[in-house]
Amino acid sequence: MKQQNSQQAEDYYPSRNGQPSIFLERQDPVVYSTDKNNCPIEQEKIQQYQENGFIVLEDIFSQSDIEALQAESTFLRQNSKDKHSGEVILEPGSGEVRSIFKIHESSAVFKKLATDKRLASLAEYLLGDKVYIHQSRLNYKLGFRGKNFYWHSDFETWHVEDGMPRMRALSMSITLTENYSFNGPLMLIPGSHRSFVVCEGETPEEHFKSSLKNQEYGVPTDQSLTQLVEEGGIVTATSKPGSVIIFDCNVMHGSNSNITPFPRSNIFLVYNSMANQVVAPFCERSPRPEFICTREKIEPVIPVVSNFNNE
């Protein structure tokens, strides 16, 4: 059932087109590189990523790196609350800062992080290509006030609303605080990346104005989610600060609200293959703003060995 967008690009993953939810077979590889000799991490982790759709790498950043990243995160939050520019998303209700987008542009520290070889070279390996930053954000999920992110596949949104053609992108979530089992850690469904869950309903106008606070479209039906969980279970990506959770663009994930005193603040960097640049959205809506989806300024990342204690 091939469809097309306004640019007549072939839609391999039609969704939110008034059809009932079904599962479509993934039509793209998970790990694009086959060169086992030049792999930046142990092959066992690559196998896990291929099989489950995600991996957690501990102890990637030093204590001083983490402190520099935490300081920058706090600085951005304290200097953004009254900024009503689009990239600052406030929590519904409390008005606390929920997310800040496009931090790889607004912050020199996070710009450096996005090009850090420990991350960018691994993204190049997994995606088998040079990469660019499709989206970056800081999700603060503050104690008591941090609300949930309902179950979703990022790719379903990036395909339908941003025009990302194929599954050749991934997220790297760098943990800035303890991700405990109880303060709203990322929950992922192993193996869910192999099925594209077609979502029901139609994309509202300017959907991002509500979806970044509370997503109601581009989410699986209860039945689809139940089926994925029956097949793969649910894993919570608990880890200490300075870890990296790497997950495929299509893995089903979500996270609960945080009612504990402990913030769960993570940076998210989304790497997309240069061969998978966004085209026109696969829905009848205008493209989303640049702070959510890089479209105007697509430049390959040049991986650099770096640290964050200003040496």
Q: Which is nearer to Fe ion, 60 or 252 (CB)?
A: 252
DSSP 8-state symbol, 169: E
Answer whether 273's CB lies under 8 Å from 131's CB: yes
65 binds Fe ion (CB under 5 A): no
> Is 132 one of the binding residues for ligand 6CS (CB under 6 A)?
no
Residue (151 or 308) nearer to ligand 6CS, CB: 151
Residue 90: count other Cβ atoms within 10 Å of its Cβ: 16
Q: 242 in helix, strand or coil?
A: coil
- The entry of Fe ion, ligand 6CS, none near residue 211 (CB within 5 to 8 angstroms by kind) is ligand 6CS
Would you count residue 292 as binding ligand 6CS (CB under 6 A)? yes
In the chain, % helix, strand, coil (3-state, to 5) comes to: 25, 20, 50
Which residues are registered as beta bridge partners of 175? 266
| Partner that binds at residue 215, options ligand 6CS, Fe ion, none, CB closer than 5 to 8 Å by kind | ligand 6CS
Cα–Cα distance measured from residue 90 to residue 268, given in angstroms and rounded to the nearest whole number: 17
Which of helix, strand or coil describes residue 115? helix
162 binds Fe ion (CB under 5 A): no
Based on the shown chain and the rule CB under 5 A, indicate whether residue 156 belongs to the binding site for Fe ion.
no
Residue with tokens 């991490």: 41
Nearer to ligand 6CS, 30 or 138 (CB): 138
Binding mask 135-174 for ligand 6CS (x = CB under 6 A): x-x-----------x--x-x--x-----------------
Angstrom distance (rounded) from CA 9 to CA 282? 9
Among 215, 239, 258, 294, which residue interacts with ligand 6CS (rule: CB under 6 A)?
A: 215
The candidate with the shortest Cα–Cα distance to 207, out of 215, 199, 219, 196, is 215
Take residue 76 and report the two structure tokens written for it: 């951005």
Does residue 264 interact with ligand 6CS by CB under 6 A? no
211 near ligand 6CS, rule: CB under 6 A: yes
> Which residues of this chain interact with Fe ion, rule CB under 5 A?
154
> Which residues of this chain interact with ligand 6CS, rule CB under 6 A?
135, 137, 149, 152, 154, 157, 211, 215, 292
